[in-house]
Structure 1
Amino acid sequence: MYGLMQPRPLTIAHILERAEALFAHKQVATAGVERLTYADVIAHARRLATVLDSLKVPSGARVATFASNSRRHLEIYLAVPATKRVLHTINIRLSADHLEYIVDHAEDDVVFVDRGLLARIWPSVDRLSRVRHWVVLPDGSDTALPADPRILGYDELIAGAVPFTGSFEDTFALADENLASGLCYTSGTTGPPKGVLYSHRSTVLHCLGTLAAGLIGLAESDVVMPIVPFFHANAWGLPYGALMAGASLVLPGSSAEPAHLSRLMEAERVTVAGAVPTVWTSLVPELRRHDLSAVRFLLGGGSAVPPALSETYRAALGVPITHSWGMTEVSPVGVIGGTRTQHREATALERVAVRAAQGQPLPLVNLRTVDVETGRELPRDGSAVGELQVAGPWVAGGYFRVDADDSFTDDGWLRTGDLATLDGDGYLRLVDRMKDLIKSGGEWISSVELEAVIASHPDVVEVAVIGRPDPRWAERPVAYVVLRDGSAVTAEELVRHITPMVARWWLPDEVVFMATLPRTGTGKLSKSALRDSVRST
Structure 2
Amino acid sequence: MTQPRLLETVAAEAYSYPLLIRRLLPKPETTSQEIVSDGRRFGYAAFIERIHRLASALSQFGVKAGDTVAVMDWDSHRYLECYFAIPMLGAILQTVNVRLAPAAIGFTLRQSGASTLLYHDDFKPLADVLLPGLQIERSVTFGGSAADGFEALIETGDPGYVFEDFDENAIATTFHTTGTTGDPKQVFFSHRQLVLHTLAAAATIANQPIGQGVTRNDVYMPITPMFHVHAWGMPYVATMLGMKQVYPGRYDPATILALKRDERVTYSHCVPTILRMVIDVARANALDLAPWTMMIGGSALPEALAEEAEGVGVIALSGYGMSETGPVVTLARSKPGEAVGVRCRAGFPLPLVEVAVDQSRGGELTIRAPWLTQGYSLQDASDALWEGGRLHTGDIAELDADGAVRIVDRLKDVIKTGGEWVSSLELESLLMEAAGVAEAAVVGIPDARWGERPVAFIVRGAGPAVTEGSLRHAVSERAQTGAISRYAIPDAIYFCEVLPRTSVGKVDKKALRETAITSASLASA
TM over 0.5: yes
Secondary structure of 1:466's aligned partner: strand
Secondary structure of 1:462's aligned partner: strand
- Which of 35, 40, 62 matches 1:34? 40
TM-score normalised by the chain length of structure 2: 0.90
Confirm or deny: 8 A CA contact 1:219 1:246 kept in the other structure: no
Shift of 1:532: 2.7
Secondary structure of 2:360's aligned partner: coil
Q: Deviations over 1:64-114 (max 9, x none)?
A: 111110111111111101111111101110012211111100000111111
Q: How does 1:491-530 map to 2 (within 5 A)?
A: 491-501=468-478, 502-530=484-512
Confirm or deny: 8 A CA contact 1:179 1:200 kept in the other structure: yes
- Which of 99, 119, 139 matches 1:134? 139
Q: State whether structure 2 residue 52 is matched by structure 1 residue 54.
A: no
Q: Report the counterpart of residue 367 of structure 2 in structure 1.
A: 390
Secondary structure of 1:534's aligned partner: helix
Unaligned 5+ residue runs, structure 1? 146-151, 374-384
Unaligned 5+ residue runs, structure 2? 479-483, 520-525
User: For residues 141 and 262 of structure 1, what CA distance do their matches in structure 2 show?
Assistant: 26
- Which of 64, 77, 90 matches 2:83? 77
Distance 1:388 1:80, change over 3 A: same
Q: State whether structure 2 residue 17 is matched by structure 1 residue 8.
A: yes
Q: State whether structure 2 residue 78 is matched by structure 1 residue 98.
A: no
Shift of 1:310: 0.8
Confirm or deny: 8 A CA contact 1:334 1:361 kept in the other structure: yes
User: For residues 463 and 157 of structure 1, what CA distance do their matches in structure 2 show?
Assistant: 47
Percent of matched pairs sharing the same residue: 37
Distance 1:488 1:141, change over 3 A: farther
User: For residues 109 and 234 of structure 2, what CA distance do their matches in structure 1 show?
Assistant: 25
Distance 1:442 1:294, change over 3 A: closer
Q: State whether structure 2 residue 27 is matched by structure 1 residue 22.
A: no
Confirm or deny: 8 A CA contact 1:28 1:38 kept in the other structure: yes
Confirm or deny: 8 A CA contact 1:518 1:529 kept in the other structure: yes
User: For residues 77 and 57 of structure 2, what CA distance do their matches in structure 1 show?
Assistant: 17
Shift of 1:166: 4.1
Q: Which amino acid aligns with 1:197?
A: F
Q: Report the counterpart of residue 376 of structure 1 in structure 2.
A: none
Shift of 1:351: 2.6
Q: State whether structure 2 residue 310 is matched by structure 1 residue 303.
A: no
Q: Which amino acid aligns with 2:140?
A: V
Distance 1:473 1:401, change over 3 A: closer
Q: Report the counterpart of residue 439 of structure 1 in structure 2.
A: 416
Q: Deviations over 1:101-153 (max 9, x none)?
A: 1110000011111111221343122221x111221121x478xx9xxxxxx82
User: For residues 170 and 160 of structure 2, what CA distance do their matches in structure 1 show?
Assistant: 23
Shift of 1:19: 4.6
User: For residues 141 and 470 of structure 1, what CA distance do their matches in structure 2 show?
Assistant: 56
Q: Deviations over 1:212-255 (max 9, x none)?
A: 1334754321210111000010001111111100101011101x
Confirm or deny: 8 A CA contact 1:62 1:87 kept in the other structure: yes
Q: Report the counterpart of residue 483 of structure 1 in structure 2.
A: 460
Query: Over the residues paired in the alignment, what is the CA RMSD in angstroms?
Result: 2.1
Deviates more, 1:208-217 or 1:109-118: 208-217
Confirm or deny: 8 A CA contact 1:262 1:290 kept in the other structure: no
User: For residues 291 and 122 of structure 1, what CA distance do their matches in structure 2 show?
Assistant: 44
User: For residues 29 and 461 of structure 2, what CA distance do their matches in structure 1 show?
Assistant: 49
Q: Report the counterpart of residue 369 of structure 1 in structure 2.
A: 357
Q: How many equivalent pairs are there?
A: 498
User: For residues 135 and 290 of structure 1, what CA distance do their matches in structure 2 show?
Assistant: 41
Q: Report the counterpart of residue 154 of structure 1 in structure 2.
A: 150
TM-score normalised by the chain length of structure 1: 0.88
Q: State whether structure 2 residue 232 is matched by structure 1 residue 227.
A: no
Distance 1:200 1:217, change over 3 A: farther
Q: Report the counterpart of residue 252 of structure 2 in structure 1.
A: 257
Q: Which amino acid aligns with 1:132?
A: E
- Which of 289, 299, 308 matches 1:292? 289
User: For residues 281 and 499 of structure 2, what CA distance do their matches in structure 1 show?
Assistant: 21
Q: Report the counterpart of residue 131 of structure 2 in structure 1.
A: 125
Q: Deviations over 1:5-39 (max 9, x none)?
A: 852011111123x254533x4211125x2222222
Q: Report the counterpart of residue 385 of structure 2 in structure 1.
A: 408
User: For residues 463 and 149 of structure 2, what CA distance do their matches in structure 1 show?
Assistant: 47
Shift of 1:472: 1.6
Q: Deviations over 1:443-473 (max 9, x none)?
A: 2111011001011112111111111222221
User: For residues 288 and 36 of structure 2, what CA distance do their matches in structure 1 show?
Assistant: 18
Q: State whether structure 2 residue 456 is matched by structure 1 residue 451.
A: no
Confirm or deny: 8 A CA contact 1:218 1:245 kept in the other structure: no
Shift of 1:201: 0.8
- Which of 334, 342, 347 matches 1:354? 342
Q: Which amino acid aligns with 1:336?
A: L
Q: Report the counterpart of residue 522 of structure 2 in structure 1.
A: none
Secondary structure of 1:39's aligned partner: helix
Q: State whether structure 2 residue 439 is matched by structure 1 residue 462.
A: yes
Q: State whether structure 2 residue 190 is matched by structure 1 residue 193.
A: no
Confirm or deny: 8 A CA contact 2:174 2:189 kept in the other structure: yes
Q: Which amino acid aligns with 2:381?
A: A
Q: Report the counterpart of residue 425 of structure 1 in structure 2.
A: 402
Confirm or deny: 8 A CA contact 2:69 2:86 kept in the other structure: yes
